[in-house]
Amino acid sequence: MQHIHFKKILVPVDFSKTAQQSFDHVKWLASKFFSEVTLIHVREVLATVSVFPSLYVPLEDMNDEYRKLSMDKLEEMRKELMNDGVKNVHIQYMEGSVSKCINDYVAEENIDIVVMGTHGSSGLAEFFIGSNAFKVVNMLDLPVLTINDKKTFTPYKTIVAPLDDTNYSRAKFPYIVELAGILGANVQILYPVVSDEGRKNTIAKHLKQVTDFLSKKSISHTPKPVDGNFAHEVLKFAEYSNADLIVIMSETEMTISKMFLGSQAQEIVNHSVVPVITLHPEDKGEMMEIFG
């Protein structure tokens, strides 16, 4: 069963530097997966009517000039992508709640992956900055690639994959195998150093299962123990080893593992210098059958 099929890529843009920087990633992914790309800009419409009724402006009366300027900019971006070899690019302008617009569009158009910046200066900025990027990642039931503008794009040849003792931490590895196979990437498996014997034994068991699986699939990989705050150490290792991508799971590392709850999970999504793909597999049970 194939799990990686990034045929339809959705790229929310707010016309900021980070949004523009994501284009290098989009171009590369589109070339690898022969993807169709949609650029979407959402003008956030605040529900001011409930607080300041006199300030409420109906949607039909909103500034047409803003829409025109946005569409012109989206068209420029579309042409840029097409000039750089992306053959199938669409543009979309919407007004309303950013989260609802993106969620609805993803569902209606059967999007396979969302690529977005983690910081912005207008438009989507309020939605992406701080805890909001983390909310976006968890809102969508599909892979989300988040990109910080502090790192220049490089092809994804080194993938960092955190592994802990939580039940579904291993479920991302069938996806990683497919991704690494397509991209010709090496996988760096990071696992925490712990003192508790029970946790230590579980991590050792998970590590053996994962390394055996990667070896069977002929995927180059290197296990590496890390000591200290696990989420922070993952970020540090990825940055200072010049890794190209971090792959994590939502609903496991992010909401079950104590090491990834709260601000630490948000730090990975919002503040990683290295791009992060967060996976939301619906078939975690099937994935786990691989490991018994």
Residue by residue, pLDDT tens for the chain (292 residues) are 556 789 999 999 888 777 777 899 999 999 999 999 999 998 876 544 444 455 555 555 556 888 899 999 999 999 999 999 999 999 999 988 777 888 899 999 999 999 988 764 444 444 444 445 566 677 788 899 999 878 889 999 999 999 988 877 888 899 999 999 999 999 999 999 999 999 999 999 999 999 999 999 999 999 999 999 888 899 999 999 999 999 988 754 444 444 443 445 566 777 789 999 988 766 555 666 677 6
Is residue 209 left, alpha or beta, with left meaning phi > 0 and alpha meaning psi from -120 to 50?
alpha
pLDDT at 79: 95
CA 213, CA 106: separation in Å to the nearest integer? 32
| Per-residue confidence (pLDDT) for residue 60, from 0 to 100 | 52
CATH for the 8-147 domain, from 3.40.50.2300, 3.30.9.10, 3.40.50.300, 3.40.50.620: 3.40.50.620
Burial of 228-241, coded b for 16+ CB within 10 Å and e otherwise, reads eebbebbbebbbee
Yes or no: domain 158-275+282-289 corresponds to CATH 3.40.50.170: no
Joined together, the tokens standing for residue 179 give 């991704």
> What pLDDT score does 258 carry?
40
Report d(CA 19, CA 117) in Å as an integer.
5
**Which structure tokens are listed for 56?**
């409420």
List the one residue out of 213, 212, 209, 211 whose CA is nearest residue 174.
213
Q: Where are the domains of the chain?
A: 8-147, 158-275+282-289
For residues 287 and 213, the answer to whether their CB atoms sit within 8 Å is no
